[in-house]
Structure 1
């Protein structure tokens, strides 16, 4: 069971984007960083474990997000938002009137950060162990529709056959093996609509769809193992706790649900169990994240809501 804790106020409300909440626990300082997007503004809050000590920061993108009127700027900051360490211009395709944007980000164990774009490209950046000499090392070109989400395997299993998954607006999933050269392992056809959120843990992929369903895939085989009718409306966010394997889902139906995903040791099949449900009344959920790797606490944001609602296991 989880109980609702004191909410954290933010400077401006959350925009109606998928996965519009990020968390970063800093265990040695008993702090958690939260980030929520409002238009071109990023609201950042560092909060103590009890939620009493707060520090706010707002990051504003370059004016209009444009350079010379032709490119959108993607920016990388230090984890506390204090210093911008890198920026990259996303070029607008010729003869295109569509908006250009970056969406979906995943960090691999091998010092790469992958960023999705509205063109369907995935930009792979090499992050050095020290310093800020970040370089664009590769562009992955398997998607034909805007990227919606990217996830890397967050478990401790370092022998995964595949450790990166990307999703797009049409519902196509691409499963990759990261490294000096990224290798496409499987390309999974669209499943009846947009895949809005995707997560990966211990060789298991959880993908949330506009239908309200969660599909559970085996990353090593690229096959569907479980279909869960999780929500009555669009799934807007998924998250997974890296140690426990708990899966958190949030939808437009105002419900949050926690599931346990695991492999049955006898059959090696993937199984899913429902563990908990919360209703956030009159809130259109747009982001939800666990606040620790065990999944003992989680936070949620909603469209036009100027607060982060927290829940703690009891």
Structure 2
């Protein structure tokens, strides 16, 4: 169970953008940094662990060339690299990179006629070569598998199985691409959007539905749907969609392993605690849910029975194997996959009258998390009771 803690006030409200909250926990210090975007500026707040001390900073979107209008920021996020931490802002006119506290801008990548930053309708992803220190940052590669606007990018947070890739990108049409990084990026798998013909059959070991007030909501084919947020953990891709679903895929093969009707409305944010496999989801329906991901290596324990996980009155997640034990498909053989993927509900929190647009864990174990919402001038914090 989680309980509400002292909230953090912002200088301005949060915009209705996907994943509009970023959290940086400074190692060895009882201090955390939070950021949220509003129009042409981003609010950066440093907060003490006891919630008593705050420090505010506002960063503005850089204007490119002969600017005649204000540039709008689309995202702000801390990128934790092996040798340094950067605060990266994306806008309509380019990409800005700052030192982690926002004090010094170390790089500016302008948008011109022939070049597009991540998140535009071109669907390209830019790969940057960043030195341990200094400003000699360069574009090393351009990835062009997507045909729609990039909505989210996530690196592997756990230990990737061999051949599973270590980066995933998502776009506005719902397509996911899993990449293997190195001297050059290699496409490992491409997961088509809803409604498109899949290159691999749907051999999901669990068909997950929801029972809401005793009325079962069953899965039905839908048209392509935006993937607003994505995470990668231990070779499992967790993707949140505009129809309120969370889907779990094998990163190496693109096979669907589980799906759950997690929210009643559009999912705006996902986050994952790498040390425990906890998954955080937030949506327009004012709810934030905490889930637990795991792999069941005992594939012989599959039974044609419904298993219930109660997590809120009138709301029960159901795992329904679509075959009897004797019909276990070859794709789930222990020799061909590292165990069945399971998702279990742990906690639900209603953020009253709030269209949640940002939700992040504040630590690697998932013992605390923060939430913000559209037109909300504060960040709510929750900790384990």
Structure 1 contact 198–238 (Cα < 8 Å) conserved: yes
TM-score (norm 1): 0.90
Q: Is the aligned partner of 1:134 residue 2:137? A: yes
Tell me which residue corresponds to 2:171: 168
Q: 1:224 aligns with which of 249, 256, 261?
A: 256
- Partners of 1:228 and 1:92 lie apart in 2 by 41
Is the counterpart of residue 68 in structure 1 residue 66 in structure 2? Answer: yes
Give the equivalent residue in structure 2 for 1:276: 347
Retained in 2: the 8 A contact 1:124–1:139?
yes
* Alpha-carbon distance, 1:134 to partner: 0.9
Give the deviation of 1:133 after TM superposition.
Answer: 1.2
Q: Deviations over 1:164-190 (max 9, x none)?
A: 111111111111101110001111111
How many Å separate the matches in 2 of 1:119 and 1:143?
A: 8
Matching of residue 33 in structure 1 with residue 66 in structure 2: no
Query: In the aligned structure 2, how far is the partner of 1:69 from the partner of 1:160?
Result: 45
Match 1:88 to one of 109, 132, 136: 109
Which ranges of structure 2 fall in alignment gaps of 5 or more residues? 69-91, 195-223, 300-338
The answer for the alignment partner of 1:204 in structure 2 is 236
Deviates more, 1:272-281 or 1:83-92: 83-92
In 2: Cα distance, 1:68 partner to 1:136 partner = 24
Maintained 8 Å contact 1:116/1:123? no
What's the counterpart of residue 304 of structure 1? 375
Task: Identify the residue that residue 225 of structure 2 maps to in structure 1.
Answer: 193
Question: Contact 1:197–1:208 at 8 Å: present in 2 too?
Answer: yes
Answer yes or no: is the 8 Å Cα contact 1:67–1:73 preserved in 2.
no
Partner of 2:211: none
**Match of 1:174, SS?**
strand
Aligned mate of 2:182, from 156, 173, 179: 179
Bigger proportion of residues as strand? 1
Contact 2:8 2:378 in 1 (8 A): yes
2:179 and 2:159 map into 1 onto residues whose CA distance is 17
Give the corresponding residue for 1:108: none
Deviations 1:90-115 (A, max 9, x none): 22459xxxxx7x5xxxxxxxxxxxx5
Separation in structure 1 between the aligned mates of residue 33 and residue 371 of structure 2, nearest angstrom? 13
What is the distance in 1 between the residues matched to 2:228 and 2:27? 30
**Quick check: which has more Rg, 1 or 2?**
2
Match for residue 52 of structure 1?
52
Runs of 4+ aligned structure 1 residues displaced above 6 Å come to: none
RMSD, matched Cα: 1.7
Q: 1:144 to 1:221 in 2, by over 3 A?
A: same
2:270 equivalent among 238, 243, 248: 238
- Tell whether 2:45 aligns with 1:13: no
- Partner residue in 2 for 1:111: none
**1: CA distance, partners of 2:357 / 2:113:** 27
User: 1:287 offset after TM fit, Å?
Assistant: 0.3
Aligned length: 294
For residues 114 and 48 of structure 2, what CA distance do their matches in structure 1 show?
A: 44
TM-score by length of 2: 0.74
C-alpha separation in 2, matches of 1:162 and 1:234? 28
Structure 1 unpaired stretches of 5+: 95-99, 103-114
Residues 301, 154 of structure 1: alpha-carbon distance in 2 compared, 3 angstrom cutoff: same
Q: How far apart, in 2, do the equivalents of 1:224 and 1:256 lie? A: 24
* Equivalent of residue 124 in structure 2, options 110, 118, 121: 121
Indicate the larger mover: 230-239 or 24-33: 24-33
Matching residue of 1:77? 98
State the 1:159 CA deviation.
5.1
Q: State the distance in 2 between where 1:219 and 1:275 align.
A: 24
Secondary structure at the residue paired with 2:28? helix
SS at match of 1:66: coil
